[in-house]
Amino acid sequence: MTLTDELFAKNTVTLDSKIPEGPVADKWDNYKQNMKLVNPNNKRKFKVIVVGTGLAGASAAATLAELGYQVDAFTFHDSARRAHSIAAQGGINGAKNYKGDGDSVHRLFYDTVKGGDFRSREANVHRLAQVSIDIIDQMVAQGVPFAREYGGLLDNRSFGGAQVSRTFYARGQTGQQLLLGAYQQFSRQVGLGGISLYNRTELIDIVVIDGRASGIVVRDLVTGEISSHAAHAVVLATGGYGNAFFLSTNAMACNVTAAWRAHRKGALFANPCYTQIHPTCIPQSDDSQSKLTLMSESLRNDGRVWVPVNPNETRLARDIPEEERDYYLERLYPSFGNLAPRDVSSRAAKRLVDNGQGVGAKKNGVYLDFSEAIERLGHDVVQERYGNLFEMYERIAGENPYETPMRIYPASHYTMGGLWVDYELQTNIPGLYAAGEANFSDHGANRLGASALMQGLSDGYFVLPYTIGNGLAPLLNKPMPGIDHPEFKAAEEAARVRYNAYLAINGTKSPDYFHRELGKIIWDYCGMERTEEGLKKALELLPALYQEFKTDLRVTGDGDSLNQTLEKAGRVDDFFQLGMLMCRDALDRNESCGGHFRSEYQTDEGEALRDDVNYCHVAAWQWGGDPMTPNLNVEPLEFETVHLATRSYK
Amino acid sequence: MSNHLKNITLRIWRQAGPAAKGNFETHVVDEITDEASFLEMLDLLNDKLITEGKEAVVFDHDCREGICGTCSLMIDGQAHGPQRGTASCQLHMRQFKSNDTITIEPWRASAFPIIKDLMVDRSAFDRIIESGGYITAETGGAPDANLIPISKIVADAAMDSAACIGCGACVAACPNGAANLFTGAKIAHLSRLPQGQAERYSRVEAMVETMDEKFGSCTNHGECEAACPKEISIDVIALMNKDYRKAKFANRKDLARK
Amino acid sequence: MAQVVTSHRGPVTGTATHKRKKRPFLLDLYSTAVGKKYVMGITGVAMMGFVLFHMIGNLKMYAGAAGLDHYAHFLQTLLYPLAPKGWVLWILRGGLISMLFLHLHAAWSLTRLNRHARPMKYQSKRDYQIANFASRTMRWTGIIVLAFLVWHLLDLTFGVVNSETGKMITHPGDEESVKAVYASIVYSFQRTPVAFFYVVANILLGIHLFHGAWSIFQSFGLNNPRFNSWTRAFATGFASIVVIGNVSFPIAVMAGIVG
């Protein structure tokens, strides 16, 4: 009996992934043929709440409103256009095979499953690859100015982890252009009355009545007012939890609160230890730094990564002769070279920096060198491709990448883990859906480049509008609890108590201080490389720091007007609880896979060593009343189409 | 490599709420590395204020990569501060010297009411987009993406205008509080593309008229272009003006046929 | 007035569902700021044409008293005998007056709009990057030029402040007498304060034109990156020609070249 079977037998929650019948390539079509529909005239009788207005949220809200559902959309930003999807630079994958280089839906599916280190659900990934084609069509129709070739057709580029060119891009601002496309479609519905938009409003609780998600409790960030909203279905498209590390490429306000509050109400949280470290970020320059900035992975198309061979190197990059440079990605992974997947290249960089070969004043980076590309392509072509990224680098680092190589280092970037969802993107709480980075569904243990945008839009445009209808159809004309239900009142009251409590502690340290300290622990022990010993230590340090947070936090101001310190306190609180679960999950997963690298489990060459016998499952955690005592549930993963194999990029 | 700046005096606008009377408050940052960003300096100040039991300075910010458009500071009389083509969040302390006095104000425009301190409400921009800043293409019916070839030059020009991050610096910098650069950028983006032609004239009419309800008028100073973190050219305003005129004629002709 | 929140908190929806009031086409165009800028531009072009031809016509001054006076007479008798004497001139004047009125009305309403758009000014010093003296002083240069125009008409057209205006003269070789325009100009500019006011007003007019003439291209959307650099040159050239021509008259009188 394998560990997976053993754990499965102990499940406290029934995890039905609802994967449709048939061969993997037919599952989505089968699902659509068999799903229940809501008559167009009846759609307006249903209210759907969408929390978050990034790619997944905005596209879901817009599409649902177009179909005729009443949509209430919530964002804690001032505008629906600000979500962090906007910062994605590189591109979006689409299995269009416009380049005629052998791409297909199957290949994108295969690459994603393999890239995810065989820890994702085949059926979900295949659907993602299928709809990737529709996404490109949809976004072009909306006027997203994707890069074009001179003949007027769409241009593609290649990306880490793939051997075909299937990435559509709009300069280094693909995420921005896609989000604006979705935002415009969303705004059209706000204008037409299909969507009611609540801006600067943060979700602070989910209300579950008789086992079904019935609505949410929100806090108006401007007035501090706490109120309830009831609906037939609730979609959480609230992004990932990368800010648990404090220093990450996430925006300052990104947080886990919505997902975490759902988790505390019974939704399972899956694979929290699967966090992605992005290999090309600008290294930290000083201790006051508030965030790290990502440099698009597309830079690796033309940039060469190297470090000096000599750890005591003091010369400037350009003065170091060729033979004293170690182009380690090209050396270690000849077939993928500088385009090796994110986790692989990140760890390679870490090893060299740990070995003292790092560059820069803090010796905390590796070079990404464009001199060869500038020689080969000319300054103008390089500027055309990466000009805005180079400018951005120069503004931040104060160095000109046309002359000196960029310095880069891995940083926390994306979280593959998230709320457990079934094939319909519904959590284990009926009526509660999770989309985009907030769910765990498609990327397994590691996400390929240019796939996040694809997944967000896939969920919002082409999956949720169908699956929500399927879920709502049986509820037609059935009574629904309103916001006067005692559960809503109780949740509001609990939220009030919670926020007043932060104000009442009156300690000495700001929420930022705790966030920074929390981030350090998680980065040190649950970052790029994890050990049993380290994780155990983190699980001692975290509760102690959390205790200090609860007694020594200082939140100034009041709860009746805009108070960013108070908002932050609530988010940091949830990060603490999540942090403990991340470490616990990492400790329990005795293997290395994708973004989860346990030093005890590696090959002789230092590559991740999976344990498919015991860990080929999703770890879905149930809230156990205290952040340190979660209950583990597992969903075994079956690979029928792509055969389990060791991931090799050599 | 990094240098430290000393004794930076900050004059920061504090305003308790929308209707409250505001005033400048002076704070001194004793020391900060020039590698720090401008907003990190404010973080540092806020941390100090909180530990001293004072309320932190409220300012809008999010991605800190110059792309989300949330940050919005008037620094020393310039929207987003002294560095060209740079949002407040990408401004670094190496642009300043020790002993500098830096004045920070919120954007000021009646369409951007102050919420608190340095934070303003820019929803008026959303209203402009809602009125027509889109291409109607409901989910599901899109033709193949390569069906309509778009010349690279046109796609690039559309991208230039589409780069707008909606931060509001154009309005803040405009002596008249006009939003023509913001509105013009969206119109130029959509109207340059073949996909945007069907709604070209109804779009420009609706957007200009919505803009007109909330903002001032353009008197061609060019301040918006100078303040724009994405350096969008005022050529987009000219394009909007032209399309607006054409729209008035085009629609009149169409109506006459009915 | 402070910046005040007018919108209540709560959901935003159906913001684009209201219909605009239907108006006659021209009024509809004029109802928005963009439309008003067209009116500013069109009326501006008309007045630019006037200013230029007024200046060129006055160059006749250098052809002596008879030359200028005959030119003035020619203007008075445009299209005579098809139209009675003076009629065409008054029609043209009527056109100019309506242009001026529209220009002023558009300027006034746009100024009001702009004041309303920023009720609370920046409390610290602005650091303008591009906006120049000309663009930022359009209202003031406009108002001063308007005041000058009033004086100018009282001086040389209606003779309220000029005893020479309106007198008739018969030049040698002429059969009938014509208005002694030349003499009235010379009389006017021999008064130093008048000449000074004239010079200052014309320089301000030049500044107004420097921004206005450039602005027209932008407001009309006559914008082409190929020609954008020429528009500034055009505006500078136009303003300079008008100012140099006009300012030369009082200087010539004061210097005794004309007299």
Residues 6+ apart with CB under 8 A from A29: none
Q: Do A565 and B67 touch (CB under 8 A)?
A: no
State the pLDDT confidence band at B116, using cuts at 50, 70 and 90: very high
- pLDDT of C5 > 50? The answer is no
Q: Do B85 and A391 touch (CB under 8 A)?
A: yes
Give residue-wise pLDDT tens across range A487-516.
999 999 999 999 999 999 999 999 999 999
Q: Is B101 helix (H, G, I), strand (E, B) or coil?
A: strand
Q: How far is B213 from chain C (nearest CA, A)?
A: 9
Q: Do A557 and B55 touch (CB under 8 A)?
A: yes
Q: How far apart are CA A264 and CA A262, in angstroms?
A: 5
Nearest to C15 among A191, A220, A223 (CB): A191
Structure tokens at A512: 């930022």
Burial C68-86 (b: 16+ CB within 10 A, else e): bbbbbbeebbeeeeeeeee
Residues 6+ apart with CB under 8 A from C243: C202, C203, C205, C206
Nearest to B178 among C117, C129, C130 (CB): C117
Q: How far apart are CA C156 and CA C165, in angstroms?
A: 6
Q: Which helix (H) or strand (E) holds A352?
A: helix A342-354
Task: Let me know if A112 is exposed, middle or buried by CB neighbors in 10 A (0-12, 13-18, 19+).
Answer: buried
Q: Do C37 and B111 touch (CB under 8 A)?
A: no
Give residue-wise pLDDT tens across range A566-596.
999 999 999 999 999 999 999 999 999 999 9
Q: What sign does the dihedral C183-C184-C186-C191 (CA atoms) show?
A: positive
The least confident of A396-400, A540-544, B87-91 is: A396-400
Q: Do A198 and C11 touch (CB under 8 A)?
A: yes
> For B69-204, where are the E strands, in sequence order?
74-75, 78-79, 101-105, 114-116, 119-120
Residues of A with Cβ-Cβ distance to B155 under 8 angstroms: 145-148
Provide long-range contacts, Cβ within 8 A and 24+ apart, for C236-240: C236/C210, C238/C48, C238/C52, C238/C209, C238/C213, C239/C206, C239/C207, C239/C209, C239/C210, C239/C213, C240/C206
State the pLDDT confidence band at B253, using cuts at 50, 70 and 90: low
Nearest to C179 by CA among C158, C154, C194, C198: C158
How open is the CA angle A494-A496-A500, to the nearest 5 degrees? 120
Give residue-wise pLDDT tens across range B205-223.
999 999 999 999 999 999 9
What is the percentage of chain A residues whose pLDDT exceeds 90?
87
Confirm if B89 and B39 have CB atoms less than 8 A apart: yes
Confirm if B112 and B216 have CB atoms less than 8 A apart: no
Give residue-wise pLDDT tens across range C64-81.
999 999 999 999 999 888
Give residue-wise pLDDT tens across range B13-71.
999 999 999 999 999 999 999 999 999 999 999 999 999 999 999 999 999 999 999 99
Q: What is the mean pLDDT of residues A128-154?
A: 97
* Amino acid in the structure at residue A500: N
Q: Are strands A406-415 and A233-236 parallel, antiparallel or unpaired?
A: unpaired
State the pLDDT confidence band at A159, using cuts at 50, 70 and 90: confident
Give residue-wise pLDDT tens across range B92-103.
999 999 999 999
Burial A583-610 (b: 16+ CB within 10 A, else e): bbbbbbbebbbbbbbbeebeeeeebbbb
Q: Do C122 and B74 touch (CB under 8 A)?
A: yes
Select which of A342, A385, A530, A571 is catalytic. Answer: A342
Give residue-wise pLDDT tens across range B182-201.
999 999 999 999 999 999 99
Task: Tell me which DSSP letter residue A508 carries.
Answer: S
Q: Do A554 and B50 touch (CB under 8 A)?
A: yes
Known catalytic membership, residue A351: no
State the pLDDT confidence band at C1, using cuts at 50, 70 and 90: very low
Domain residue ranges of chain B, discontinuous segments joined by +: 4-115, 123-257
- B26/C contact by beta carbon, under 8 A: no
Residues 6+ apart with CB under 8 A from A640: A24, A122
Nearest CA in chain A to C17: A192
- The answer to whether position C16 is within a domain reads no
How open is the CA angle B197-B200-B201, to the nearest 5 degrees? 140
Distance (Å) of CA C226 to CA B159, C223, C230: 20, 9, 8
Model pTM score: 0.95
Q: Do B24 and C124 touch (CB under 8 A)?
A: yes
Burial A519-548 (b: 16+ CB within 10 A, else e): bbbbbebbbbbbeeebbeebbebbeebbee
Distance (Å) of CA C39 to CA A396, A583, B204, C27, C98: 46, 68, 19, 11, 11
Give residue-wise pLDDT tens across range A6-37.
999 999 999 999 999 999 999 999 999 999 99
Q: Are strands A418-419 and A269-270 parallel, antiparallel or unpaired?
A: antiparallel
Residues of B with Cβ-Cβ distance to C121 under 8 angstroms: 108
* Amino acid in the structure at residue A134: D
Give residue-wise pLDDT tens across range A438-478.
999 899 999 998 999 999 999 999 999 999 999 999 999 99
- C3/B contact by beta carbon, under 8 A: yes
Q: Are strands A233-236 and A432-434 parallel, antiparallel or unpaired?
A: parallel
- B31/A contact by beta carbon, under 8 A: no
Q: Do A87 and B68 touch (CB under 8 A)?
A: yes
**What pLDDT, on a 0 to 100 scale, did the predictor assign at position B132?**
96
Q: How far apart are CA A382 and CA A379, in angstroms?
A: 5
Q: How far apart are CA B108 and CA A327, in angstroms?
A: 52
Confirm if C122 and B77 have CB atoms less than 8 A apart: yes
Chain C interface test: which of A44, A195, A225 (most C C-beta within 10 Å): A195
Q: Is B116 helix (H, G, I), strand (E, B) or coil?
A: strand
Q: What range does the domain containing C143 cover?
A: 31-116+135-254
Residues 6+ apart with CB under 8 A from A381: none
Q: Is A140 helix (H, G, I), strand (E, B) or coil?
A: helix
Q: Do C221 and B241 touch (CB under 8 A)?
A: yes
- pLDDT of B255 > 80? The answer is no
Residues of B with Cβ-Cβ distance to C130 under 8 angstroms: 221-223, 225-226
Burial B12-46 (b: 16+ CB within 10 A, else e): bbebebbeeebeeeebebeebbbbbbbbbbbbbbb
Q: Superfamily for B123-257?
A: Alpha-helical ferredoxin (1.10.1060.10)
Q: How far is A236 from chain C (nearest CA, A)?
A: 18
Distance (Å) of CA A211 to CA A421, A483, A577, A632, C71: 16, 16, 23, 20, 96
Q: What is the mean pLDDT of residues C12-25?
A: 87
Q: Do A185 and B134 touch (CB under 8 A)?
A: yes
- B130/C contact by beta carbon, under 8 A: yes
Q: Do B126 and A147 touch (CB under 8 A)?
A: no
Q: How far apart are CA B60 and CA C147, in angstroms?
A: 47
Phi (first) and psi of residue C67, to 5 degrees: -60, -50
Residues of A with Cβ-Cβ distance to B64 under 8 angstroms: 251-252, 290-291, 293
Q: How far apart are CA C32 and CA B179, in angstroms?
A: 13
Q: How far is C17 from chain A (nearest CA, A)?
A: 6
Q: How far is B41 from chain C (nearest CA, A)?
A: 20
Distance (Å) of CA A147 to CA A155, A226, A300, A511: 6, 45, 18, 42
Task: Tell me which DSSP letter residue B215 carries.
Answer: S
> How many B-C residue pairs are in contact by the CB < 8 A criterion?
180
- pLDDT of C6 > 50? The answer is no
- pLDDT of A648 > 80? The answer is no
Chain A interface test: which of B29, B58, B61, B67 (most A C-beta within 10 Å): B67
Pick the CATH number of A483-619 from 3.40.50.720, 1.20.58.100, 3.40.50.300, 3.30.565.10: 1.20.58.100
Q: Tell me where in chain A the CATH 3.90.700.10 domain(s) lie.
A: 278-413
Q: Do B219 and C116 touch (CB under 8 A)?
A: no
Domain spanning B4-115, CATH architecture: Roll (3.10)
Which of 52-91 (B) contact C at CB < 8 A? 74, 76-78, 82
Residues of B with Cβ-Cβ distance to A170 under 8 angstroms: 159, 162
Residues 6+ apart with CB under 8 A from C230: none
Q: How far apart are CA A148 and CA A136, in angstroms?
A: 13
Q: What sign does the dihedral A232-A460-A228-A551 (CA atoms) show?
A: positive
- pLDDT of A610 > 50? The answer is yes
Burial A327-355 (b: 16+ CB within 10 A, else e): bbbeebbeebbbbbbbbbbbbbbbebbee
DSSP line for C25-87: HHHHHHTSHHHHHHHHHHHHHHHHHHHHHHHHHHGGGGG-HHHHHHHHHHHHTTTTTTS-TTH
- B251/C contact by beta carbon, under 8 A: no
- The answer to whether position C2 is within a domain reads no
Residues of B with Cβ-Cβ distance to A197 under 8 angstroms: 126
Chain C interface test: which of A44, A190, A200 (most C C-beta within 10 Å): A190
The least confident of A280-289, A322-331, A556-565 is: A280-289
CATH code (residue C175): 1.20.1300.10
Q: Are strands C178-179 and C168-169 parallel, antiparallel or unpaired?
A: antiparallel
Q: How far apart are CA A276 and CA A417, in angstroms?
A: 10
- B190/A contact by beta carbon, under 8 A: yes
Nearest to A595 by CA among A605, A610, A584, A581: A610
Phi (first) and psi of residue A600, to 5 degrees: -65, -20
Confirm if A265 and A245 have CB atoms less than 8 A apart: no
Q: What is the mean pLDDT of residues A183-193?
A: 98
Q: How far is A374 from chain B (nearest CA, A)?
A: 22
Give residue-wise pLDDT tens across range A213-222.
999 999 999 9
Q: Do C15 and B24 touch (CB under 8 A)?
A: no
Nearest to A637 by CA among A121, A109, A7, A14: A121
Chain B interface test: which of A290, A463, A509, A517 (most B C-beta within 10 Å): A290
Nearest to A459 by CA among A175, A124, A120, A184: A124
Domain spanning A278-413, CATH architecture: Alpha-Beta Complex (3.90)
Task: Tell me which DSSP letter residue A621 carries.
Answer: E
Q: What is the number of structural domains in chain C?
A: 1
Residues of B with Cβ-Cβ distance to C223 under 8 angstroms: 235, 238-239, 242
Chain B interface test: which of A75, A86, A139 (most B C-beta within 10 Å): A86
